[in-house]
């Protein structure tokens, strides 16, 4: 158990819909990272937040957005969903804001878009 | 975006054999990381490398940061059944503020 929690574990929805994925970092960690894992693209970095502020941005679509709240939990919002958005979405946390810090991954949310 | 070429894609080995996998890139990385992912779980960090030429061990695992800073390898000695899983390399580009780049993974299968 990494100490990072993600909810829900599974999510099934339809194209065009909007969903919110939630992540609680390990106690004391200030940084949260979001990743997407699909069979064809592998693990792709989406976005990083540090202490409530956006720190780094990767291959995140404009239809996707994220935020980190004062209690340090984070939400990833995915809108106008397409079939290709079906994937595993991981959240990771680290204690500081440096990308090479040890990142502890949560168990992931499996999103299926029908 | 940047790509890491990880090989082999999969490995079928006998228990007790040594395993070797590697990652290469056309770009220079300032950090190399190796993760293992079990089915239904998130990746778990195995080894982190921060300097060119660095050789680091974690139990039966050994990884090295290539001198050119464009490659890294991971060795597993005397494999055991619990080594089964997918191994990913990941790197952070020099001066990069755009997150980790991951390889496509090496799927390790151990035959009894």
Angle CA(B31)–CA(B36)–CA(B40) in degrees, nearest 5? 135
**Which residue out of A47, A99, A101, A106 would a mutagenesis test of the B interface target, given it has the greatest number of B Cβ atoms within 10 Å?**
A99
Per the CB < 8 Å rule, is B45 touching A92? no
Cα separation, A108 vs A91, in Å, equals 7
Q: How far is A45 from chain B (nearest CA, A)?
A: 6
Contact yes or no for B97/B30 (Cβ under 8 A): no
Any A CB within 8 A of B77 CB: no
B31 contacts on A by Cβ (under 8 Å): 99-100
How many Cα atoms within 13 Å fall on the side-chain side of residue B62? 10
Contact yes or no for B101/B3 (Cβ under 8 A): yes
Shortest CB distance from A58 goes to which of B33, B90, B98? B98
Query: In chain A, which stretches have pLDDT less than 50?
Result: none
Tell the burial category of A52 from Cβ atoms under 10 Å away from its Cβ (0-12, 13-18, 19+): middle
Q: What is the pLDDT of residue B57?
A: 96
pLDDT band at B3 (very low <50, low <70, confident <90, very high): confident
Q: Which residue of B has its CA nearest to A39?
A: B104
Per the CB < 8 Å rule, is A105 touching B43? yes
Per the CB < 8 Å rule, is B99 touching A48? yes
Mean pLDDT of B93-109: 82
How many Cα atoms within 13 Å fall on the side-chain side of residue A42? 20
Any A CB within 8 A of B5 CB: no
Q: What is the pLDDT of residue B1?
A: 54
Q: What is the per-residue DSSP string for B47-87?
A: EEE-STT-EEEETTEEEEE-TTSSEEEEEE-S--GGG-EEE
Q: What is the pLDDT of residue B66?
A: 95
For CA atoms B30, A106, A45, B72, the dihedral sign is: positive
Contact yes or no for A13/A19 (Cβ under 8 A): yes
Q: Which residue of A has its CA nearest to B34?
A: A102
Mean pLDDT of B12-30: 94
Residues 6+ apart with CB under 8 A from B95: none
Q: Among A6-10, A55-59, B32-36, B103-107, which stretch is predicted with the lowest mean pLDDT?
A: A55-59
Mean pLDDT of B75-81: 96
Q: What is the pLDDT of residue B30?
A: 87
Q: Does residue B22 carry a pLDDT above 80?
A: yes
Contact yes or no for A27/A39 (Cβ under 8 A): no
Per the CB < 8 Å rule, is A42 touching B104? yes
Q: What is the pLDDT of residue B97?
A: 59
pLDDT band at B39 (very low <50, low <70, confident <90, very high): confident
Q: What is the pLDDT of residue A103?
A: 84
Q: What is the pLDDT of residue A32?
A: 94
Shortest CB distance from B99 goes to which of A2, A42, A45? A45
Tell me the pLDDT tens digit for each residue of A48-66: 999 999 988 888 999 999 9
């Amino acid at each position: 158990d990494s100490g990072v929690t993600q909810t829900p574990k599974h999510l099934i929805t339809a194209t065009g819909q909007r969903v919110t994925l939630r992540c609680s970092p390990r106690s004391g960690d200030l940084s949260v990272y979001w990743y997407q894992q699909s069979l064809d693209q592998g693990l792709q970095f989406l976005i990083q937040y540090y202490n409530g502020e956006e720190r780094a941005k990767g291959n995140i679509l404009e239809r996707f957005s994220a935020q980190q709240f004062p209690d340090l939990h984070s939400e990833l919002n995915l809108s106008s969903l397409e079939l290709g958005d079906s994937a595993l979405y991981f959240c990771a946390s680290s204690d500081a804001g440096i990308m090479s810090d040890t990142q502890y991954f949560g168990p992931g949310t499996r999103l299926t878009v029908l | 975006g940047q790509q890491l070429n990880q090989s082999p894609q999969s490995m079928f080995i006998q228990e007790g054999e040594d395993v070797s996998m590697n990652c290469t890139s056309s770009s220079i990385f300032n950090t190399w990381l190796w993760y293992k992912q079990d089915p239904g779980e998130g990746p778990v960090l195995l080894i982190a490398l921060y300097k060119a030429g660095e050789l680091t061990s974690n139990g039966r695992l050994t990884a090295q940061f290539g001198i050119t800073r464009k490659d890294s390898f991971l060795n597993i000695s005397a494999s055991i059944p619990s080594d089964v899983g997918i191994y990913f390399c990941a790197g952070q580009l020099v001066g990069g503020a755009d997150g980790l780049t991951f390889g496509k993974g090496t799927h390790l299968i151990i035959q009894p």
